[in-house]
Amino acid sequence: MEFQPVTLAPGAYSGDALLLGVFEGELESALASLPSEVIATVKEVVEEEEFKAKALEKIIVRVSGGSVRKVVLVGLGASDKVTHESLRQAAGEGARALKTSKAVSAGIAFPGSAAQEIVEGVLLALHDDDRFRSKSEENGGVEPKKLTTVSVLLESLEGAEAAIRWGLAVADGTIFARELVSAPANYVTPMYMADQAVAIAEAGGLEYEILEREDCEKLGMGAYLGVAQGTDMPPKFIHLTYKPADGKPRQRLAFVGKGLTFDSGGLSIKTSEGMKLMKVDMGGAAAALGAAKALAQIKPDVEIHFIVAATENMVSGHAIRPGDILTASNGKTIEVDNTDAEGRLTLADALVFAEKLGVDAIVDLATLTGACLVALGNDIAGLLSPDEALAERVKKAAEESGEKFWQLPMEESYFESMKSVVADMRNTGSREGGTITGALFLKQFVEKTPWVHLDIAGPVWTEKQKGYINRGGTGFGVRTLVQLALDK
């Protein structure tokens, strides 16, 4: 799909369809430039269908006498409540109506300068993941019409090219993450993840290294390799580095993603219900790599390390047992109380690796605990950090990006429940406050670098289609990471 910024009034656009964003009570100004007979027809349908321009409300109107076949109105809600996110959602909902209208070319006009939100909303809403469907014989083998040319109608072209470029990059990274999460574990293996990471690096000019099992052994990554010993798939420890071209990064960041391509629970095996969706357990890694893909195109003036300790958590004769003691790469020993608390074991060594790079801040994303789903539901991720300043920064980036997080306390006293009789710690604590104990465990592997932990077990996947969101992997986290890399 192509996006062209143009300074045209909607009435001057010629193509298949027009998509107009309308604030409540501002229909007149949205329609003003259209020919009077088109306005009359649109108003007729507005009355007929009681269109009030409430957020995400939409109507499709067949018109004649103008230079388009269809006019689509999408509600933007009250103008004093507008956010980047509400515009992005509306663009997504509007794009669905363009698809219904069979438009191949469309002009999109929103009040103000919403080019980036339009690009993101349209691309994400129309993203159709058909990788695993056989080609259907419907339509007698004829490809259905697809939206290919979008003219973004603007009052001024100032900043428009950049806004569209950013929108394209962010959507590209998010779609990459969605597809990685949605693909099954017999497709997305640790090897596949490593191959994808290398492809991103080669296309975007990033440095990369893939550490094999022996490399990880040399680094003493006993916690990560403990999890990896239960599967026949070789572990892949992925490390990409983006550096600004001028060699003068404003700061240095590390984004660490949990990369369990499948989590059976190991010998502390999950129920079949609990295991059903565990292909999503690499959602943190998908977000980190998706951000790498986007940032390689946006080229910020910061250095960023993308780190994933990829493996599977499987049941086998060589899997770790409850009671086994593992030694992480910082020398700390862990009694494996529950082999299903595997994400924190892999992250332990990934965090130690990140800190050794001497970065200014570390952010990890992980589908770490079912408890976070219980606490915050499907749409909100948990945010935990011992560093209030960095927590604020991440919250601000999240707000800009429209991704929802809620901060939970790092209640140190809860770590009591993770004390082991025989080792430095156990890998699980009390059932209560499971998201907090998960974060407290990870904290044992970050000595002094400001660090934020994001538990994305809820929003990594959705069964609801809404706005620009489709069923399946959501790509959650990509936009917050991109925003964080760009903040000043």
Task: Report the nearest approach of Mn ion to the CB of residue 447 (Å).
Answer: 26
Return the residue of 66, 259, 283, 343 that touches Zn ion, per CB under 5 A: 343
Phi, psi of 207 (to 5 degrees): -80, 150
CA pair distance 348, 223, nearest whole angstrom: 7
Q: Does 235 help bind Zn ion (rule: CB under 5 A)?
A: no
The DSSP bridge pattern shows strands 236-242 and 207-211 to be antiparallel
Q: What 8-state DSSP symbol labels residue 466? A: B
- The residue at minimum Cβ distance from ligand BES is 370
Angle, helices 283-298/160-182, rounded to nearest 10 degrees = 160
CB 37 within 8 A of CB 67: no
Closer to Mn ion at the Cβ: 117 or 342?
342
321 catalytically annotated: no
Return the structure tokens found at 86.
């509400």
Which listed residue (344, 426, 443, 479) is catalytic?
A: 344
Alpha helix locations (H) across 339-432? 343-356, 370-376, 388-401
Closer to Zn ion at the Cβ: 166 or 224?
224
State CA 397 to chain mean position distance: 13
User: Could you say which residues in the range 141-200 bind Zn ion, by CB under 5 A?
Assistant: none
Which listed residue (270, 332, 395, 466) is catalytic?
A: 270
270 catalytically annotated: yes
Judged by beta carbon distances under 5 to 8 A according to partner kind, the member of ligand BES, Mn ion, Zn ion, none in contact with residue 457 is ligand BES
Judged by beta carbon distances under 5 to 8 A according to partner kind, the member of Mn ion, Zn ion, ligand BES, none in contact with residue 249 is none
Task: Report the nearest approach of Mn ion to the CB of residue 266 (Å).
Answer: 8
Closer to Mn ion at the Cβ: 85 or 263?
263
The region of 46-54, 228-236, 281-289, 446-454 touching Zn ion under the rule CB under 5 A is 281-289
Closer to Zn ion at the Cβ: 89 or 339?
339
CA pair distance 368, 341, nearest whole angstrom: 8
Interface positions with ligand BES (CB under 6 A): 263, 281, 338, 340-343, 367-371, 373, 428, 434, 457
Instruction: Using the structure block, give the residue that is written with the tokens 């403990």.
Output: 226
Residue 159: partners with Cβ closer than 8 Å, 6 or more residues away: 113, 115
Judged by beta carbon distances under 5 to 8 A according to partner kind, the member of Zn ion, Mn ion, ligand BES, none in contact with residue 154 is none
Interface positions with Mn ion (CB under 5 A): 263, 340, 342
Judged by beta carbon distances under 5 to 8 A according to partner kind, the member of ligand BES, Mn ion, Zn ion, none in contact with residue 85 is none
Residue 116: partners with Cβ closer than 8 Å, 6 or more residues away: 84, 163, 164, 166, 167, 170
CB 93 within 8 A of CB 54: no
Q: Does 281 help bind Zn ion (rule: CB under 5 A)?
A: yes
Task: Report the nearest approach of Mn ion to the CB of residue 263 (Å).
Answer: 4
Cβ-in-10-Å burial (0-12, 13-18, 19+) of 131 comes to exposed
Judged by beta carbon distances under 5 to 8 A according to partner kind, the member of Mn ion, Zn ion, ligand BES, none in contact with residue 120 is none
Q: What 8-state DSSP symbol labels residue 279? A: G
User: Could you say which residues in the range 251-280 bind Zn ion, by CB under 5 A?
Assistant: 260, 263
Task: Report the nearest approach of Mn ion to the CB of residue 260 (Å).
Answer: 7
- The residue at minimum Cβ distance from Zn ion is 263
CA pair distance 384, 368, nearest whole angstrom: 12
Return the structure tokens found at 150.
């979008």
Q: What 8-state DSSP symbol labels residue 281? A: G
Footprint of Zn ion on this chain (CB under 5 A)? 260, 263, 281, 343
So which residues are the catalytic ones?
A: 270, 344
